Every structure is written in C-alpha cells, then in structure tokens.
Amino acid sequence: MRYLNEEELQLASRFLFLSMAMVVIQQDIQHIQQGAFKIKEPYVELLEKMNSEATNERRKLRKMMEDGSIRVVTLNKNDSFSSFLFISKGREEKRNYFNPAIRKKVELIVQELMQKALPPHQHSVSANT
C-alpha cells in the first residue's frame, strides 16, 4: 500500500540514489589518485565537477525534504536486496530494491552528472593543423 504521495517518493528516492552516486564518485576519485594512471588530473577534475554538481543538487533536495518533513532510513541490506523506510509527516512506506536495479539507477545518475560536468563538445578542429 502507498502511504507517501508520488512527489514525496520521487524526492526521497532521488536524494537516496544521488547520495549513493556521490559515494561512487568519491571512491572513483580515490581509486584514480591511488591507481596507475599516467595522467590523473583530467579524470579527477571531471569527477570533482560531477561531485560538485551532485552536492549542489543534494543540498537543494535536503532543504525540500526538511521543508516537507521527509526522511529516508536504511533498514537492511543483503546480497540481493536493500530495504529503505521513507517517512513523511508521520506516514511510513517501506521499499525493497533489487541491488542490480539500484546499481542501474546510480549509474544513470552518474551519467547525468557527467553530462552536466562536461563542457559542450565543439567541432572546431582546423584542417590545417
């Protein structure tokens, strides 16, 4: 049974999966810095821009959630599923997510953040170079 309305659920879900994407980005930054990359700076710079975009969005989402008295609580995780409790104005809704589905949602957010962080591609390569 649905206890939260669609808007509350979308807001809390975006916050949850965006937070997970930020963890992935931060881990990737560490892996690149500690890894065997010959030239690390462009990758780290891109990931830091993505993290900055995510931080700004999450700050706005957190404010909206506070204004709407919305919270997300992790209940439990196992190899296959993760359970979260969405709370809004005293109403609660438990949701179970298949871990590969979570991974796909996080991957889509990472791709979205990458598009926001990358400058528009310019096709102005000169033929005389």
- The pLDDT tens digits of the residues spanning 6-41 come to 999 999 999 999 999 999 999 999 999 999 889 999
pLDDT in tens, 78-97: 999 999 999 999 899 999 99
Instruction: Compute CA distances 129 → 122, 124, 126, whole Å.
Output: 16, 11, 6
Are the CB atoms for 97 and 82 separated by under 8 Å?
A: yes
Position 129 scores a pLDDT of: 45
Q: How far apart are CA 44 and CA 46, in angstroms?
A: 5
pLDDT greater than 90 at residue 124: no
Question: Taking the chain, what is the end-to-end CA distance rounded to the nearest angstrom?
Answer: 64
pTM over 0.85: yes
pLDDT greater than 80 at residue 125: no
